[in-house]
Amino acid sequence: MENQNMLSEVRKKAEVWLNSPIDEASKTAIREMLDHNETELIESFYRDLEFGTGGLRGIMGVGTNRMNIYTLGMATQGLCNYLLKQFSDRKEISLAVAHDCRNNSPLFAEITAQICVANGIKSYLFDGLRPTPELSFAIRQLGCQSGVVITASHNPKEYNGYKAYWEDGAQIINPHDVNIIKEVQNIKSIGDVKFDGDKEKIITLGEEMDALYINEVVKQSINPELIEAHPDIKIVYTPIHGTGVLLVPRALKEMGFTNIYNVPEQDVVDGNFPTVVSPNPEESAALDMALKKADEVGADLVMASDPDADRVGIAIRDDKGKLILVNGHQTAALLSYYLLSQWSERGKLSGKEYIVKTVVTTELIADMARHYKVPYWDVLTGFKFIADIIRKNEDTMTFIGGGEESYGFMIGDFVRDKDAVASCSILAEMAAWARSRGKSMYDILMEIYLNFSCYQESLINVVRKGKSGAEEIQQMMSEFRKNPPSELNGSPVVTIRDYLEQASTNCLTGAKTSLNLPQSNVLQFLLEDGSKISVRPSGTEPKIKFYFSVSGKLEKREDYKVVKEGLEKKILEIQQELKLN
């Protein structure tokens, strides 16, 4: 009965679309689903796309649960309606639009700008694909009230997305995101969307904005004299068919690096990502071609950015000269160590500087912050929450940097979102700093583990697609709340943090304290031995994520392999107890 009711509701939604002012190709696709494909009909219409941690994101196609010009149009109309109310006292409201390399991204970007123009909002549109961080920068540079970037970040090729930004250059958070959704929901039909904006009124952004942005990236350099002394470090960089191809090599050259190698096949801008299964630098296979090139030329550092150039994955050479991949926790730790140590050595720490990390990111960063007596914040997953901390402190404190385990990092506050262009630039500078000390990047990683603790992190993604998958994910979270583990791998669970209930429970006493963070469907189990297990549904993909963090003391560098293997074994045993492998 429930399935029949759902099918009936889905058919009604599809019929509404069929009788709305949409193009004939879309109507044909809907008729095909209505007549011959109930499964696809349900998946396409059973819900409306909503803003998650990364905005609006979904598989491209026809329907309310798909990315297309109509769902995008309704989102944009809702955004325009909200901007017109929120800034009703302004003589002029403006918005900037950018897009990545994905299929339909240029079309989606142009339609977004047209709708804004039709609503009387001044619209800026980049003349071609651009990195997401440059959109964040442009909003602040132009004094816009909002911005939109068309991207699905590192998702597979069938996805696209729509990230909305506020006037501070950060992704939209509560209450604005909730209020925009309400405005979208108030739009009763596609016919309510003003699609007919005059293209001639759209203002083009190009090289001038690129130059301003790159100039700010170069300003983040801490030790430019070290680059001048070691400009010939061999670097292999790949944009994996995405927007980084435009600005990452340029930024590295303007920083002073002279030995930059590309991967020609992956410099080709292509939304089908023909050389990789997934354009995600978190996945080792995405770097295969870059690693091969690095061995051919003897490169010291490999860097790869995702399609919208906000995430970066890297590889460095170990003590045997072999290229090894560095995970997101380690990259964030390397960048944090370089920034904190160099700010300290240069006498730039006055007590009013700070860093930020997310609750699922390595505690190694917190250890460093305490060592350098620099305040740090833990925030929920998503750079919009890091940007919120910057916004709250920008008049009294200085943001050094911050990041998360999923290969994103932000350096300085000129951009209010993760930035692979700046991250690549400072990672390259860090390689020059290491060489100036007679060391490699791997040596620096060992130095960090010896000075603090040796951390090992792991992530398991349990994928559950479609409506039934979403329900299964919610059931898994519910079960963890009802029956949380009392111990894992022989170590008692001493604290449970439930960010949905906004409470931290002491498992020994039962005492609860408040978590001063927004509500979010995240659970954390802290063990007596210092291990941390975090569980949360993804806000942008059909998966539930399990994060594992364990640590141990590294007394001697020679012991690293043994200590690492012991920590990996501990993670594996915890995963087995949770029945995840």
pLDDT at 532 exceeding the cut of 90:
yes
First to last CA, the chain: 36
Check whether the bond before 175 is cis (ω within 30° of 0).
Answer: yes
Concatenated DSSP letters of 465-513: -HHHHHHHHHHHHHHHHHS--SEETTEEEEEEEETTTTEEEETTT--EE
Which sequence positions are flagged as catalytic? 153
Residue 1: per-residue pLDDT? 43
pLDDT at 317 exceeding the cut of 80:
yes
Which residue bears the tokens 């929920």? 380
- To the nearest 10 degrees (0 to 180), the angle between helices 441-451 and 328-345 is 80
Q: 46-56: per-residue pLDDT in tens?
A: 988 776 545 68
Coil vs helix vs strand at 237:
strand
Beta-bridge mates of residue 276: none
pLDDT band of 154, cuts 50, 70, 90: confident
pLDDT at 442 exceeding the cut of 50:
yes
What average pLDDT does the chain have?
Answer: 95
pLDDT at 3 exceeding the cut of 70:
no
Rounded to whole angstroms, the Cα distance separating 289 from 554 reads 34
409 touches 332 (CB < 8 A): yes
Q: 66-107: per-residue pLDDT in tens?
A: 999 999 999 999 999 999 999 999 999 999 999 999 999 999
- Which residues, in sequence order, are CB contacts of 442 under 8 Å at separation 6+? 316, 317, 318, 319, 324
Q: How many CA atoms lie within 13 A of 555 on its CB side?
A: 1
Name the amino acid, one letter, at 412.
G
Structure tokens at 130: 């651009």
By C-alpha distance, which of 494, 498, 463, 473 is closest to 380?
498
Q: What is the mean pLDDT of residues 223-248?
A: 98
Q: What is the mean pLDDT of residues 264-274?
A: 97
Q: 386-407: per-residue pLDDT in tens?
A: 999 999 999 999 999 999 999 9
Residue 565: per-residue pLDDT? 97
- Please name the fold of domain 225-451: Alpha-D-Glucose-1,6-Bisphosphate; Chain A, domain 3 (3.40.120)
CATH class label, 455-577: alpha beta
Rounded to whole angstroms, the Cα distance separating 106 from 126 reads 10
Q: How many CA atoms lie within 13 A of 293 on its CB side?
A: 21
Structure tokens at 403: 């990041």
pLDDT at 2 exceeding the cut of 60:
no
> What's the pTM?
0.94
User: To which H or E segment does residue 203 belong?
Assistant: strand 203-205
Q: Where do the H-state alpha helices sit in 361-456?
A: 364-371, 383-393, 420-436, 441-451
Residue 52: per-residue pLDDT? 55
Q: 8-47: per-residue pLDDT in tens?
A: 889 999 999 999 999 999 999 999 999 989 889 999 999 8
Structure tokens at 286: 């995405």
392 touches 386 (CB < 8 A): no
**Domains 225-451 and 455-577 alike in fold:** no
Phi/psi at 95 (5° precision)? -150, 140
- Which residues, in sequence order, are CB contacts of 131 under 8 Å at separation 6+? 98, 243, 244, 246, 247, 305, 308, 309, 310, 419, 420, 421
Name the amino acid, one letter, at 172.
I
Residue 54: per-residue pLDDT? 56
By C-alpha distance, which of 555, 310, 571 is closest to 456?
571
Give the start-to-end residue ranges of the domains of the chain.
1-46, 49-205, 225-451, 455-577
Structure tokens at 565: 């293997």
Sort 3 into a burial class: Cβ within 10 Å, 0-12 / 13-18 / 19+: exposed
Concatenated DSSP letters of 74-135: HHHHHHHHHHHHHTTT-S--EEEEEE-SSTTHHHHHHHHHHHHHHTT-EEEEESS---HHHH
Quote the CATH superfamily of domain 49-205. Answer: Alpha-D-Glucose-1,6-Bisphosphate, subunit A, domain 3 (3.40.120.10)
Q: Specify the range with the lowest mean pLDDT, choosing from 2-6, 192-196, 515-519.
A: 2-6
129 touches 35 (CB < 8 A): no
Q: 539-552: per-residue pLDDT in tens?
A: 767 899 999 999 99
